[in-house]
Amino acid sequence: MWPRVSEPLKIPCVVAFARLGREVEVAAGELLLEVLEQAGVAIASLCRGGSCGTCRVRLLAGAPVIESRHGLRQDQREDGWILTCCARTVPGQRIVLDL
């Protein structure tokens, strides 16, 4: 018989910054823009809602939850760009950004 779990298991996510050679472990469901800011990684942002495209970054690996891509052109989407204000971490994922 398995023990009862009163609270769901919390599986973290790792966000890696390829060019900086750094990575951080964060809770699932965090906005990547906030992860970057909390880690002290400089990134421009304006609208924080997915329309201006200022916070875009290239995703090298992983599969964050993408809430919006309206601030990106089709060619940018195809080239792997995401908006960090509209991308959330996922439990157990290793997300690698071109930063």
Global confidence as pTM? 0.88
Q: How far is CA 63 from CA 8, 48, 96, in A?
A: 22, 20, 9
Could you write out the DSSP letters of every residue in 2-37? PPP-SS-----EEEEETTTTEEEEE-TT-BHHHHHH
Q: 13-97: which CATH architecture?
A: Roll (3.10)
Q: In this structure, are strands 94-97 and 13-17 parallel, antiparallel, or unpaired?
A: parallel
List pLDDT tens digits, range 59-94: 999 999 999 988 999 999 999 999 999 999 999 999
Q: How confident is the model at residue 4 (pLDDT cuts 50, 70, 90)?
A: low
Closest CA to 76 of 99, 49, 93, 55: 55
